[in-house]
Structure 1
């Protein structure tokens, strides 16, 4: 498996992976009716446009297995108040067909290395409380819980209990 910077041609696969991963991973955290309404085609034009102009404000990395896109990670400017020289891991999604193969860890490690190369001193992420597989992946990659928690509905319209994890680069 290999990881690379995403291009506009990856937008459709990213949309499909997001929907598949969310429907499989978040059944315990989000209402089923919300998960069923997810649309892999939503915002693809905007995503393709953003993928054509990567910057430290928004970068997407995709993992491939023999030419198939299997997962993605997004880093970008933090969407909340935090320390200077900090980047946020906005998303980590792996197609359920590739779960438990170390692909999530590989994507996180790639995002961390790229963030370091871009001159960031810290990387942070919000993880849904109780999402044990995600928490284990982040801890295995050197992230630690900061003890900060929040309830946010900005992303889904439904309250999510999240914990902040961080790693010094």
Structure 2
């Protein structure tokens, strides 16, 4: 497995991975119609532009197997209120056929290392309540549930409940 910073040429693969991972992982949490409507080609030009200008506000890493991108993670500026010198793990998505191989764990470990090297004091994330595999991975890597929760229906039209996790660096 090869891990590297994503490049603009990876945008299509990232879009496909996001759709496949969401459709497989979020069936219990999101409406089937919403998951069916996901479009891997959506916002690719915006993603390519962001990949060409990565910094501590947005950094995307990929995992490759035999030259094929099979997973990605995103860290960036917190999208919600956060303590100073905090960065957020926005996403970890792995193609379902590559689940339970340690790829997601490796991407989270890389995000933690990047955040520490970049001078942040902590890394945080929000995880859908009930997404037990993800919650177990984060806890195993030293993330602690803070007790903060949020709920929103903005994304899917139904209310999603999320739990906040944080890790001191």
Does TM, normalized by the shorter one, top 0.5?
A: yes
Shift of 1:153: 2.8
Shift of 1:157: 4.0
* Aligned position for 1:153: 153
Shift of 1:152: 2.0
Secondary structure of 1:28 counterpart: coil
Q: CA offsets, 1:14-69, max 9 Å, x none?
A: 00000000000000000000000000000000000000000111110001111111
Q: CA offsets, 1:129-156, max 9 Å, x none?
A: 0001110111111111001111023444
Provide runs of 4+ in structure 1 moved above 4 Å. Answer: none
Residues 105 and 140 in structure 1, CA contact (< 8 A), matched pair in contact too: no
What residue ranges of structure 2 are gaps of 5+ in the alignment? none
* Aligned position for 2:142: 142
* Aligned position for 2:29: 29
Residues 86 and 123 in structure 2, CA contact (< 8 A), matched pair in contact too: yes
Relative to the length of structure 1, the TM-score reads: 0.97
* Aligned position for 1:165: 165
Relative to the length of structure 2, the TM-score reads: 0.97
What does residue range 123-138 of structure 1 map to in structure 2 within 5 Å? 123-138=123-138
Query: Structure 1 residue 76 and structure 2 residue 42: aligned?
Result: no
* Aligned position for 1:57: 57
Output the CA distance in 2 between the equivalents of 1:2 and 1:114.
16
Alpha carbons of 1:3 and 1:154: their partners in 2 closer, same or farther (altered >3 Å)? farther
* Aligned position for 2:117: 117
Please report the RMSD computed on the Cα atoms of aligned residues, expressed in angstroms: 0.9
* Aligned position for 1:47: 47
Output the CA distance in 1 between the equivalents of 2:40 and 2:125.
23
Shift of 1:94: 0.4
What residue ranges of structure 1 are gaps of 5+ in the alignment? none
* Aligned position for 2:67: 67
Residues 62 and 72 in structure 1, CA contact (< 8 A), matched pair in contact too: yes
* Aligned position for 2:107: 107
Output the CA distance in 2 between the equivalents of 1:100 and 1:144.
22
Output the CA distance in 1 between the equivalents of 2:16 and 2:161.
25
Secondary structure of 1:69 counterpart: strand
* Aligned position for 1:97: 97
